[in-house]
A = this chain, B = another copy of it.
Amino acid sequence: MSKSEYLAGYDPRAYPAVAVTVDVVALTIIGGVLHVLLVERGEPPYAGRWALPGGFIRPGEDLDQAALRELSEETGMTDRVHIEQLASYGAPDRDPRMRIVSVSYLAFAPDLPDPQAGSDAADAAWYGIDNLPKLAFDHERILGHALERARAKLEYTPLATAFVGETFTISELRRVYESVWGVPLHAGNFHRKILSVPGFVESTGETTESGGARGGPRAKLYRAGDARLLHPALLRPEREEEIR
């Protein structure tokens, strides 16, 4: 069959159906450690294995809507949730049931409630990023890509404010960066840097009710500013190993 015949006669409806799913990498910070939301699968394939929450898109539903729905089914949250699309995965054998193309999403939220298991999941829980179980499908790869994206976006967008409350201190913001990047940052320099980026944070004029748990003065409170990009960016410390 020539290329022309192949193309002219190609009709997707003549082939086995393709299904499209969304998989959500939902991140939050618990006790200073980055956590990801996982569900324990109740049905084959991979029954009993942990996986990213996700599911099939429904008729009339846009991809973003599907991701937000899947997330709210597990967490109940729809407010103050930042969600954005990541990559899509379509290896022919990535799901043993049928051809499935999955669109992955990244979500961030502050102090999330305990997750609720959906009916297709036996359980749902937040897992510390350094304490992950083996995941179903190609979800480890998806999670890896999502983490790298999250780390990079902290550098040049005000994304970190999505991990904290409506108002926050500079130290709280610093702990977000430290948790996601996994490196300690210099408190003094970080403080100055944040305040020097136009539109990143704006002062509320208030301070915390009391000092820190282990002492220290009351900290000034800030809220997210109107910047969509940070300029100059907050660059991660040198990562020589990633360059080549």
Identify the stretch in A30-38, A55-63, A201-209 within 8 Å (CB) of chain B at 4 or more residues. A55-63
A236 to chain B, nearest CB (A): 10
> In the complex, which of the residues A4, A8, A20, A85 has the most CB atoms of chain B within 10 Å of its own CB atom?
A20
Q: Which residues in B have their C-beta under 8 angstroms from that of A91?
A: 62
Partner of A59, one of B5, B16, B60: B16
A227 to B45, CA, bound (A): 40
| Residue A229 is within 8 A (CB to CB) of chain B in the complex | yes
**Bound state CA distance, A101 and B22, in angstroms?**
12
Is A17 touching B17 in the complex (CB atoms < 8 A)? yes
With contacts A8-B119, A119-B8, A244-B199 taken as known, whether A92 is within 8 angstroms of B18 at the C-beta atoms is: no
Contact between A101 and B99, CB atoms less than 8 A apart: no
Looking at the assembled complex, report how far the CB atom of A141 sits from the nearest CB atom of chain B, in whole angstroms: 13
**Beta-carbon contacts of A3-30 to B below 8 Å, as 1s and 0s?**
1110110101101111110000000000
Asked if A118 CB lies within 8 Å of chain B CBs, one says yes
A103 within 8 A of B: yes
Question: In the complex, what's the smallest C-beta–C-beta distance from A77 to chain B, in angstroms?
Answer: 15
Please pick, from B7, B17, B87, B229, the residue contacting A13 in the complex, using a CB distance under 8 A: B17
Told that A15-B58, A62-B92, A231-B238 touch, could you supply 19 new A-B pairs with CB distance under 8 A?
A4-B119, A7-B118, A10-B55, A12-B19, A13-B19, A18-B19, A18-B20, A20-B101, A57-B90, A57-B101, A59-B92, A63-B101, A85-B87, A85-B88, A101-B101, A101-B103, A199-B244, A228-B243, A229-B242
Q: Which residues of A contact B (CB under 8 A)?
A: 3-5, 7-8, 10, 12-13, 15-20, 55-63, 73, 85, 87-92, 98-99, 101, 103, 118-120, 198-199, 226-229, 231, 238, 242-244
